[in-house]
Amino acid sequence: MEENELSGSLTTYTVGLAFALLLTAASFIVSQTGLLWAPGVPAGLAVLAIAQMGVHLVFFLHIGTGSDNTNNVLALAFGVLIVTLIVSGSLWIMAHLNANMMPMDHLLEMQR
């Protein structure tokens, strides 16, 4: 039984590697060629990145929807929440940074 489990996990990792390499190659192709309309390239890369994350979660971290993976899914959801808060907070700060900065002429006067 252990030999079959090892074979199954090796197959799972091989399939995951193939998907990951395919998505990585697709990302390079999308970014380096005119395959997508130029303003759509960031959205295409975002979709490929999300697909890449899904491949890693399913094939390498073995996070699924089974009853034994409830804690893993909750930990993943908490991690996504934290990353979302950090990224959105950073974007909000960068967007409002210009309004809160001192004007350039005042900075130049302070240096004299």
Residue 36 gets the label, from left (phi > 0), alpha (psi -120 to 50) or beta, of beta
* Separation between Cα atoms, residue 108 and residue 112, nearest integer Å: 7
Q: Please provide the average confidence, as pLDDT, over all residues in the chain.
A: 86
* Separation between Cα atoms, residue 52 and residue 21, nearest integer Å: 9
**Which strand (E) or helix (H) includes residue 3?**
helix 2-32
Digit-coded pLDDT (tens) for 50-61: 999 999 988 988
- pLDDT band (50, 70, 90) for residue 29: very high
Kindly state the greatest CA–CA separation across the chain.
79
Q: What's the pLDDT at 95?
A: 85
Residue 19: is its pLDDT beyond 80? yes
**Which strand (E) or helix (H) includes residue 68?**
none
